[in-house]
Amino acid sequence: MLDRPRVDMAIPRELGIHSAIPTASGDEDLPSYVTRDFDFLLRTALASKLPDRGNFVVLVGGSSTGKTRSLYEAVYELVPDWWLIQPAEASDLLKWKNAPPRGMVFWLDELHQYLGGHPPLTSECVRALVRHGNLVVGTLWPDQYAHWTAGREDVHALVKGAFVVPVPDSLNSAERAKAEEVARQDSRIRDALKSEEVGMTQVLAGGPRLVMCWEQPANAYVKAMITAAADAHRLGVQSPLSEELLANAMFGYLRPRHRVQPTQDWLTQALPHATGPLYGDVSPLLPADDGRPGTLAGYTIADYLAQHVRSKRRTEPIPHEAWHALATMLRRRDDLRRLADGASSRLRYRYAEIALSRLVAEFDDGRASAELVDLFVRQDRLAEAQQMLTERVAAHPEDRLAVKKLSRLQELRSRTDHVRPRGGRRTRQIPAEIAEILADGGVCDGLRQEAAAGDAMAADRLVEILLERGCLRELRVRAEQGDLRSAEALADLYAGWGEVELLRARAEAGDRAAELRLAKLERDADRSADASYEIDALRKAVDEGDPEAPGKLCSLLFDLRDEVNLRAELNAGTAGAAERLLGLYTAQDHPSLIRLRAFGLDANGQILSRE
């Protein structure tokens, strides 16, 4: 174990602690530690089950808020003589699962990199380490924590089971008083406390100077390069970006007069300013090796700067050139997976298709194959979908999902062939009836047939889906035919939109569901008076990582029929925005709904047609 340092011998900066602003004498040692109110909770969590068992502790807070430094100080105080293991990726950690050591610290700063790896960290592995008396510790940003606790997969359960210590963005009054005491002996603390715009920890990490490199760049190429790197980070890309990739992505952020220069000139003008150290070893873009001595894989953006640019560009669309460069030039499987998810959540299906196709071709990814098939089906590319599934099943007969999808696809092709006009040629436009069947792979179409045959459960499920998707016209038809569940769903839609007159008309016609919702709506009176305040509050909650906020925000915008803000949340990749926007357009009988559902949007947000 000589290659693994003890906690008290570890180099703090190699553990992820930011370099601090230097003193006038050039001292680059860590500044004095200012104790925080959560320190007691952190130490209690770490030591609560020792020595028989360990614990899994995660600090959650924004960039440069002191998470890693506080974690280091706590571990150093509690177990200074323990061995410390800092795995490069999840696979390095998983090898300890079956033969766990005892009395070690597993240091997982930036925990999301291990959760999103291939293979990902598992709850079984962490439980085994903890049972043998080890400490597993990590850090996450709030939005990352929200993402990794929102699902039901093992990796989400793992994060939910961690002991979480929240880290505020700034010092409270008691902590500031302690900092002022420390500042008498430490000039860096004293200087950092003078800032009125950001917190002490952010100043110590050089946050304002990093931001200045982007907001007041030396030239247009620096701004473009940093923005491209920040947008890649916004899409979940974690691997270093090569100079070639950055140059291709930068095109979309430059004005025409800057694009005419050779791309090598772009790099020559951008790199010295974007990668030059501001102090210590901190710079806007940080060089990274590819695992071999003397190599440069590319650059990663400083996390504080990434978080700042992300907040400023939260709802800005990402240029085509950046999407295309990332989709075609990223090399890591996990990055391509996150890129495909980010593209799909923004209805940018053309880029999702590129990423998914690469996942299938280069990594034999079964999940990507299934998602690509679903995309092909929506676009009426049934022959391509069948060929892909046939090849998948032939190569992987154990892939039960592929086998099931192939069977369903054959049924779907039979159904659409029955409906498709006979003797007609396929056109660039998908016929409306075919598009309706293909929109969800035939799910609703099947439920309609089962409901028509008298299946009450199918009828109820159909109405639930129609309500979620804003299928106003179909709900109205079903309600007028006497379906009570459809009448209730229609009344829910009208109530959500504040349609008093439409509810009153249905109530006067004897619709009990409309009558009840009308009474409640009239009691609530002006429901939109504080809508702007509520939207801002929910957006803040989304950015802070509240797992319930995205759904509430998108549902509110749907109820307000606020297309502008729904599109903004779509660009931000907010969970649920795509579904709610499609639901709004469905309710409005948007003339381009068929194309939007099938082909999505281009980089600038315009609806695509079949290409």
| Residue 581 CB burial class (10 angstroms; 0-12, 13-18, ≥19) | buried
For 480-493, the pLDDT digits (tens) are: 888 888 888 888 88
Q: Is 295 helix (H, G, I), strand (E, B) or coil?
A: coil
The pTM score is: 0.81
Q: Report the distance separating Cα 558 and Cα 531, nearest Å.
A: 12
pLDDT at 2: 38
Going by their DSSP bridges, the two strands 104-108 and 83-85 should be labelled as parallel
User: What DSSP letter does each residue of 485-540 carry, written as one string?
Assistant: HHHHHHHHHHHHTT-HHHHHHHHHTT-HHHHHHHHHHHHH--TTTTHHHHHHHHHH
Average pLDDT over the chain, rounded to an integer: 88
DSSP code, position 319: P
Q: Report the distance separating Cα 330 and Cα 323, nearest Å.
A: 11
Q: pLDDT tier at 147 (50, 70, 90 boundaries)? A: confident
Q: Any residues with CB less than 8 A from the CB of 565 and at least 6 apart, and which? A: 535, 557
For 223-271, the pLDDT digits (tens) are: 999 999 999 999 999 999 999 999 999 999 999 999 999 999 999 999 9
For 556-607, the pLDDT digits (tens) are: 999 888 999 999 999 999 999 999 999 999 988 888 999 999 999 999 999 9
Which of 11-25, 209-223, 244-258, 408-422 tops mean pLDDT? 244-258
**Residue linked to tokens 């795995």:** 87
Q: Taken in order 85, 88, 93, 95, is the CA torsion positive or negative?
A: negative
Asked if residue 504 lies in contact with residue 526, where contact means CB atoms within 8 angstroms, the answer is no
Q: Report the distance separating Cα 170 and Cα 220, nearest Å.
A: 33
Q: pLDDT tier at 420 (50, 70, 90 boundaries)? A: confident
Q: Report the distance separating Cα 558 and Cα 335, nearest Å.
A: 31
Going by their DSSP bridges, the two strands 298-301 and 285-288 should be labelled as antiparallel
Which of 2-16, 64-78, 427-441 tops mean pLDDT? 64-78
Asked if residue 218 lies in contact with residue 234, where contact means CB atoms within 8 angstroms, the answer is no
More confident residue, 570 or 16: 570
For 20-29, the pLDDT digits (tens) are: 665 554 455 7
Q: What distance separates the 2 farthest-apart alpha carbons in the chain?
A: 87
Asked if residue 84 lies in contact with residue 7, where contact means CB atoms within 8 angstroms, the answer is yes
For 431-460, the pLDDT digits (tens) are: 888 888 898 888 888 898 998 899 999 999
Q: Report the distance separating Cα 218 and Cα 278, nearest Å.
A: 14
Strand partners, 58: 138, 164
Q: Report the distance separating Cα 411 and Cα 404, nearest Å.
A: 11
**For the chain, which domains are there?**
7-21+31-166 (3.40.50.300), 209-363 (no CATH), 364-441 (no CATH), 442-527 (no CATH), 531-599 (no CATH)
Average pLDDT on 211-226 reads 93
Element housing 481 (H / E): none
For 318-370, the pLDDT digits (tens) are: 999 999 999 999 999 999 999 999 999 999 999 999 999 999 999 999 999 99
Average pLDDT on 487-506 reads 85
Asked if residue 17 lies in contact with residue 69, where contact means CB atoms within 8 angstroms, the answer is yes
Computed on alpha carbons and rounded to an integer, the radius of gyration of the chain in Å comes to 27
Asked if residue 300 lies in contact with residue 309, where contact means CB atoms within 8 angstroms, the answer is no
pLDDT at 138: 94
- Is residue 424 predicted with pLDDT exceeding 60? no
Q: If you count DSSP H runs as helices and E runs as strands, how many of each does the chain have, helices first?
A: 34, 7
